Amino acid sequence: MAGRSIHAFTVLPSLPERLAGLQKLAYNLWWCWNAEATALFRRVNPSLFEALDHSPIRLLTSLDQNRFEELTRDTSFLADLDRASAHLQTYLDEKTWFQSSYPQESDTRIAYFSMEFGIHESVPVYSGGLGVLAGDHLKSASDLGLPLMGGSFMFREGYFRQYLNIDGWQQERYPENDFFNLPLIAELDKSGQPVTVSAPLPGRDVQLRIWRIQVGRIPLYLLDANIPANRPEDRNLTAQLYGGDTHMRIQQEILLGIGGLRALRALGKEPTVCHMNEGHAAFVTLERIRNLMTEQKHDFATAAEAVKAGTCFTTHTPVPAGNDSFPPAMIEQYLGAYVDSLGVDRATFYAKGRQHPENADEPFGMTVLALKLANTSNGVSALHGTVSRKMWNDIWQGLPEAEVPIGSITNGVHTQSWLAPEMGELFDRYVHVEWESKPTDFKVWSKVESIPDAELWRTHTKCRAKLIAFARARLKAQLQRRGAPPSDIHAADEVLDPEALTIGFARRFATYKRGDLIFRDAERLAKIVNDAKRPVQFLFAGKAHPKDNGGKELIARVVHQAQKAEFRKHVVFLEDYDMNMARYMVHGVDVWLNNPRRPLEASGTSGMKVAVNGGLNCSILDGWWVEGYDGDNGFAIGAGEEYADLNYQDEVEGRLLYELIERDLVPLFYNRDAEALPRQWIRRMKRSISTLVPVYNTNRMVEEYYKTCYLPSHHRFKTLSANHLAAAAELADWRKGLLAAWGNVKVEGITAPTSDLMKVGGEFPVSVTVNLGTLTPKDVEVQICYGLLDSLGELTAPKSKALTATGANGSTETFTGNVHCERSGQFGFSVRVLPKHANLPTPFEPAVITWG
């Protein structure tokens, strides 16, 4: 085709005016969590809707014109269309939780940046848990009416599609996304031309086009580098999610952070708060700093104070190796000229990305950058918060782990997105419609107890039967594609049993998740699954990262076991795990199995999706399950032990898993009454729904983010950026003086009673003299840290109490206070000096501390 000029043109489906509502519904992904709207699209052409990944856009572009004409004459269909359209309009127009609860905060604008968003399988720009969580975050933000917008990439190929070769080894293929058949809305300028922005790479700027996907009330803006203005290699920067090497990764992260913020500004939507979902978007902080420096004529330090005030960060990774970092030479290669534009010396800049700023060889860490330039930071479960504080303790040297300023907000799932329609109808009848409008209300979910056991069991059995039918069809297609013998293909119609206890395991196949743990004693497992009266069956699914050979070996081991004669009818691995398959599995399994090595599961959300459908979790006490398990709403493998010997751990927990299945799961499931109902199992199902669903949903999670992260950050950003950053400038100057003078701060004396015997209810005075050097008492807070001592004489879970300045002698100040004896035991106390300033988010944030 060399030398030829190709003129592109677009052909749109010719929808009759009466069906125009279908197109409006199709271009707002609200339809994918509304059962009524989803059923409407399925009704247009059920088999085609199924074949086209449940994509309304592809459905409408693939439909024969005659079918449109038929639908215009179908009064029942038109009535359903009108009802769904009216429902969407009511949803968009009604007063929201945010408007009712925070009417005075209407100037808030939150930008939520994530490398991936999993909203629906028909928009394949996600890989797994991180993206699906981000998608659920947007859906709940929409339900709550938060002034939030998403920022990410419109990948040309997205994440890979998985298939297995004859030996069970994962293979990857990368089909291209047809943008025309996606719910993408081009952002255009006043002249009707695409809005583009640029992001800096060495020696050139990469141009980025902006697309929008509407997620209920929330706009998700997606960057696309695949435009003719860019070099061929630059056009590939938005080709694949998590593809390429570290050079590809750093360039994508520059585009996401710097290009992402520029896109929002070009659209007139500059945020007051930026939320970085994982460290991939941390460069957004640098671009915000650069903008303030340019527009407000301030230095880097001042602009950084204001930006930090309006930034939130969530970390998802519980191991250091999983956090992106780049060698200094690579940072210099890709960001050297950009750093020059910030007017800051290299030492100051690199210090923002290093735990140990003095170590010139330490890589530049994206998580470290995010932690140092965020007003609030959090892990995604209580245990993950603990792990994160330990992992990043060196940033705040000298500070006890428990006080490291990284909190936790436990993940959730968007209830309506993951609920089986059959269960939704059951809730409508017995829990009433409040379950949709009040998903966090325990009183609402307690009404689950009023559902008749027989109806709950019948509904769940129907969902399990649908899962088994789906699994058989997928297995048959897999075998046909691999060229399996006709006998094997025919036998696929008889694998699994719609009445048997069904255990599901589906997630990313990483080695720490131990996807093959259940096969550790294959002989014992064979007896369990082949019990003629009480059979058990397993469904596996999941992808390994293309470069994770350990994960691929795990998949191959599971597949090889599933092919053995003793397991063939009872164990199935389904290829190409996606959100559609996930829905079938969480709707239909009886038990969701999760057996990672504690504490490596940051949160895990798949089990939360099972709970709303009446499934029971069987999990290691890791991630969210430590908080969710109450002894009666599922099953725990072990008691939260952690092991140094991994092989021993696998042996112990493998045995515990078999015993749990044999002694608890199987008897509870198969012990039936005269009405053939497993009453004790059903009781646990109800307990699981009523205790877990009101807590582990993204409405609760997003409300928590708003109250503890977004709102304080918005207020602090407004405070520090007012009057041309006056408060930020004052804080920057104060910090500079503080850090210069801190080395001279010393605790010179501590006076306390000489007797170490005290009575409960009493108190004793403490007097501390501190040499402040050039600082003043208002620059510091002197604290007593006191609490129980452990066997090594260290404080356990210490409490702190501020002392009062009572007099000075030159540069030495005396601070006094009393310690209250609340309980008996062996106690101790220590004294420390921390910075103090009205505009600091926490006294630990400057990362300096002096102990007595």
For residue 842, the tally of other CB atoms under 10 A from its CB is 12
Distance separating alpha carbons of residues 380 and 388, to the nearest angstrom:
10
In 3-state terms the chain splits into helix, strand, coil percentages (rounded to 5) of 45, 20, 35
Say what the pLDDT of residue 798 is: 82
Cβ atoms of 271 and 109 closer than 8 Å:
yes
Distance separating alpha carbons of residues 194 and 242, to the nearest angstrom:
27
Query: Measuring CA to CA, which residue among 467, 701, 473, 436 is closest to residue 582?
Result: 467
Angle between helices 453-482 and 421-430 (to 10 degrees): 170
DSSP line for 807-828? EEETTEEEEEEEEE--S-S-EE
Kindly state the tokens that stand for 826.
């062996």
Cβ atoms of 137 and 702 closer than 8 Å:
yes
Distance separating alpha carbons of residues 694 and 415, to the nearest angstrom:
9
Three-class SS of 258-297:
HHHHHHHHHCCCCCCEEEEECHHHCCHHHHHHHHHHHHHC
340: helix, strand or coil:
helix
Determine which helix (DSSP H) or strand (DSSP E) holds 618, and give its type and residue range.
strand 616-620
Q: Tell me the residue ranges of DSSP E strands in 177-284.
A: 185-186, 196-201, 204-215, 218-224, 273-277
Kindly state the tokens that stand for 320.
């250091």
Cβ atoms of 212 and 185 closer than 8 Å:
yes
Residues in the chain with pLDDT values less than 70: 1-13, 754-756, 761
Cβ atoms of 568 and 181 closer than 8 Å:
no
> For residue 265, what are the CA distances in angstroms to 107, 138, 516?
16, 20, 48
Distance separating alpha carbons of residues 24 and 612, to the nearest angstrom:
30
Burial class (CB in 10 A: 0-12, 13-18, 19+), 485: exposed
Query: Measuring CA to CA, which residue among 241, 272, 29, 271 is closest to residue 152?
Result: 241
Burial class (CB in 10 A: 0-12, 13-18, 19+), 436: middle
Query: Measuring CA to CA, which residue among 702, 714, 705 is closest to residue 142?
Result: 702
Distance separating alpha carbons of residues 507 and 420, to the nearest angstrom:
19
CA dihedral sign of residues 606, 612, 618, 621: positive
Three-class SS of 497-523:
CCCCEEEEEECCCCHHHCCCHHHCCHH
Distance separating alpha carbons of residues 518 and 662, to the nearest angstrom:
13
Which residue matches tokens 């340019």? Answer: 294
Which residue matches tokens 């059959």? Answer: 422
Burial class (CB in 10 A: 0-12, 13-18, 19+), 256: buried
Cβ atoms of 182 and 158 closer than 8 Å:
no
149: helix, strand or coil:
strand
Determine which helix (DSSP H) or strand (DSSP E) holds 767, and give its type and residue range.
strand 763-771
Q: For the whole model, what pTM was predicted?
A: 0.95
CA 689 to chain CA centroid, nearest Å: 22
For 64-71, the CB contacts below 8 A with 24+ separation are 65/14, 68/13, 68/14, 68/15, 68/16, 68/19, 69/16, 71/19, 71/44
DSSP line for 159-180? SPEEEE-TTS-EEEE-PPP-GG
Establish whether the linkage from the previous residue to 219 is cis, with ω within 30° of 0.
no
pLDDT in tens, 800-813: 999 999 988 888 99
Distance separating alpha carbons of residues 19 and 14, to the nearest angstrom:
10
Distance separating alpha carbons of residues 501 and 615, to the nearest angstrom:
11
Determine which helix (DSSP H) or strand (DSSP E) holds 313, and give its type and residue range.
strand 311-314
Angle between helices 246-254 and 328-341 (to 10 degrees): 20
Q: Characterise 723 by phi-psi region: left (phi > 0), alpha (psi -120 to 50), beta (else).
A: left
**527 φ/ψ angles, rounded to the nearest 5 degrees:** -65, -40
For residue 826, the tally of other CB atoms under 10 A from its CB is 10
242: helix, strand or coil:
coil
Distance separating alpha carbons of residues 569 and 471, to the nearest angstrom:
12
CA 508 to chain CA centroid, nearest Å: 14
Strand arrangement of the beta sheet that strand 827-835 belongs to: 795-802, 780-789, 827-835, 850-851
Distance separating alpha carbons of residues 762 and 237, to the nearest angstrom:
66
Say what the pLDDT of residue 403 is: 93
Distance separating alpha carbons of residues 225 and 222, to the nearest angstrom:
10
Query: Measuring CA to CA, which residue among 41, 23, 44 is closest to residue 32?
Result: 41
Distance separating alpha carbons of residues 439 and 38, to the nearest angstrom:
21
Question: Residues with Cβ < 8 Å from 286, sequence gap 6 or more?
Answer: 257, 258, 338, 342
Say what the pLDDT of residue 2 is: 52
